[in-house]
């Protein structure tokens, strides 16, 4: 099983769009895939139209009792673990209950899934540390702007501090707008660095439309540039798996 955390400390950089579309690409290409929505905003669950069934909350999540709450999506090979509003306090629960075992909890799914995605909340907290440690790869969207590049540098620092291997970090440029000189210059300056994947995701209106269609782009626009870009990104992430 390959665990992929889609993570950035920065908000609004395209983590959820990436997790939703990469999970779809993975499942479409035949891999049994689970998307875990760890963000209390619940955007991945919303996009896949998955409500919470039963009494699921942060306590069950931290105890690893989440198997019963995993739900099938309408797409073959793709399941989703929805988030819960109580996940906003996961950090506090991790601190106070001393539970640091997300990695082992997720390992219990190894016979059920080939690929696990975490849609992480935007933070740099104990929860982020646990998710980074639990992941085999950390995929990080970076908008080609100063603050996003700074978030990447800060994340590298965080990796060092918690003893996570930097070689599992995979950054890629997200929401790239070729008409903006800063985007073009930043991509040119950083693209060849080892931490960056070659594929970039352009700024495309079809990605925003997911909020209306509540489907991955490859479902409602299968031959669109957005669908191709996420599929290419998935192929590269899978090829470079640890």
Which residues are at the interface with ligand ATP (CB under 6 A)? 11-17, 39, 41, 43, 122, 175, 201, 203-204, 207-208, 211
Region of 13-21, 125-133, 204-212, 221-229 interacting with Mg ion (CB under 5 A): 13-21
Give the shortest CB-30-to-ligand ATP separation in angstroms: 25
> In whole angstroms, what separates CA 113 from the centre of its chain?
16
Give the shortest CB-233-to-ligand ATP separation in angstroms: 11
User: Tokens 């990796």, residue?
Assistant: 159
Nearer to ligand ATP, 11 or 76 (CB): 11
| 44-55 core/surface letters (b: 16 or more CB in 10 A; e: else) | bbbbbebebeee
Helix (H, G, I), strand (E, B) or coil at 215: coil
- Of 2, 16, 83, 137, the one binding Mg ion by CB under 5 A: 16
Nearer to ligand ATP, 107 or 187 (CB): 187
Nearer to Mg ion, 15 or 183 (CB): 15
15 binds Mg ion (CB under 5 A): yes
CA distance 59 to 45: 19
Nearer to ligand ATP, 128 or 130 (CB): 128
Region of 14-22, 103-111, 146-154, 178-186 interacting with Mg ion (CB under 5 A): 14-22
Q: Quote the DSSP letter at residue 81.
A: E
What burial class does residue 178 get, using C-beta atoms within 10 Å of its C-beta: 0-12 exposed, 13-18 middle, 19+ buried? exposed
10 binds Mg ion (CB under 5 A): no
Give Cβ neighbours of residue 91 (< 8 Å, ≥ 6 apart). 123, 125, 126, 127
Give the shortest CB-41-to-ligand ATP separation in angstroms: 6
Q: Quote the DSSP letter at residue 27.
A: H
């Amino acid at each position: 099983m390959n665990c992929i955390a889609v993570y950035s400390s920065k908000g609004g950089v395209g983590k959820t769009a990436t997790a939703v579309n990469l999970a779809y690409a993975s499942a479409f290409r035949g891999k049994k895939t689970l998307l875990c929505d760890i963000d209390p905003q619940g955007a991945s669950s919303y996009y896949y139209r998955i409500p919470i069934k039963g009494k699921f909350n942060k306590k069950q999540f931290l105890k690893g009792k989440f198997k019963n709450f995993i739900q099938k999506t309408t797409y073959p090979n793709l399941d989703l673990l929805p988030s819960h509003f109580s996940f906003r306090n996961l950090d506090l629960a991790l601190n106070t209950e001393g539970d640091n075992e997300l990695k082992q909890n997720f390992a219990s799914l190894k016979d059920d899934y080939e690929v696990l995605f975490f849609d992480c909340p935007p933070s740099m907290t104990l929860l982020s540390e646990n998710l980074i440690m639990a992941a085999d790869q950390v995929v990080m969207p970076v908008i080609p702007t100063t603050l996003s590049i700074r978030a990447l540098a800060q994340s590298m620092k965080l990796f060092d501090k918690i003893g996570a291997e930097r070689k599992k970090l995979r950054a890629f440029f997200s929401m790239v707008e070729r008409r903006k000189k800063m985007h073009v210059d930043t991509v040119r300056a950083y693209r060849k660095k080892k931490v960056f994947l070659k594929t970039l995701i352009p700024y495309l209106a079809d990605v925003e439309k997911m909020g209306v269609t509540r489907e991955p782009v490859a479902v409602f626009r299968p031959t669109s540039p957005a669908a191709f870009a996420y599929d290419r990104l998935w192929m590269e992430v899978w090829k470079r798996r640890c």
